Amino acid sequence: MRTSLLTAPWTHLIVDDFLADDVLANGVRDISDGVYQFDIEARGSGRIEYALLQSATLWRALYSKEMIVLLWEAFGVRPQLNKGNMLQLRRMNAATPAFPTHSDYVAGEETIAAFLYLSHGWDLARGGRLCLHATEAAARPAAFVEPLRNRLVAFRTRREHWHSVERVVGWERLSVLSMWDLARAD
C-alpha cells in the first residue's frame, strides 16, 4: 500500500494498492456474479449511476477499523460511515456524460468521500479521471486523479473542493463510494 496525502489544489488522500490482491479479486468476482440494477440520478448536465454494493468482501474491507484509522490519520478527524449513503457501486461508461464541476458540500454536514476504483485496463485515452479544480470558475483542472484499479481517493467535502469527472470512452469505470460523517466532539 502506497499512501500520499496531497495538498494541491486542496487536501486529498491517494492510496495505491489499497486492498490485498486476493481481497480485490474476491470483491470484483462478487460484483461480476451479482445482478445490479443501477439507479440514475441527474445532476445538472451530469448523472450518477449507482447501486447498493452487494459484495460482502468489499463491505468488510471498506467498512473496517483500518479504513477508519486511515481516514482519521489523514484528515485529523474521526469518521463514521454515513448510514444514509451506505456503500454504493458507481458506474460510468460511454453512455455517461462527463460529470460537471461541482462540490459535494452540504451545509451543516461534515463528511469525507472515499472512492475505490475497481476497473482494470485504464489508460489516458479512456478518460474517467477525477479532475480537481482550484475554484469553481477554473476552466482547467489543477490536478487529476487517474482511476487506476485498486486506488483509493478520499477528500473532505468542503465548499471549496471543486471537482469533476471526465467522460469515459470505450471502457467501463466502476468504483465504490463510501461517505463518512465526521464525529462531533461532545
Residue 69: Cβ within 10 Å count: 12
105-160, pLDDT tens digit by residue?
A: 888 888 999 999 999 999 999 999 999 999 999 989 999 999 999 999 999 999 99
Domain boundaries, the chain: 2-115+147-162+173-182
Furthest-apart CA atoms within the chain: distance in Å: 50
Peptide bond into 9 cis (omega under 30): yes
Q: Give residue 97's pLDDT.
A: 87
Stated pTM of the model:
0.94
Taking the C-alpha atoms of residue 119 and residue 68, their distance in angstroms, rounded to an integer, is 24
Tens digit of pLDDT for each residue in 15-44? 999 999 999 999 999 999 999 999 888 776
Give the architecture (CATH level 2) of 2-115+147-162+173-182.
Answer: Sandwich (2.60)
What would the grid cell of residue 102 be?
A: 461541482
- pLDDT > 90 fraction of the chain, expressed in percent and rounded: 77
Say if CB 17 and CB 5 are below 8 A apart.
no
Element (H, E) at 131: strand 130-133
pLDDT, tens digit (0-9, with 9 covering 90-100), for 163-182? 999 999 999 999 999 999 99
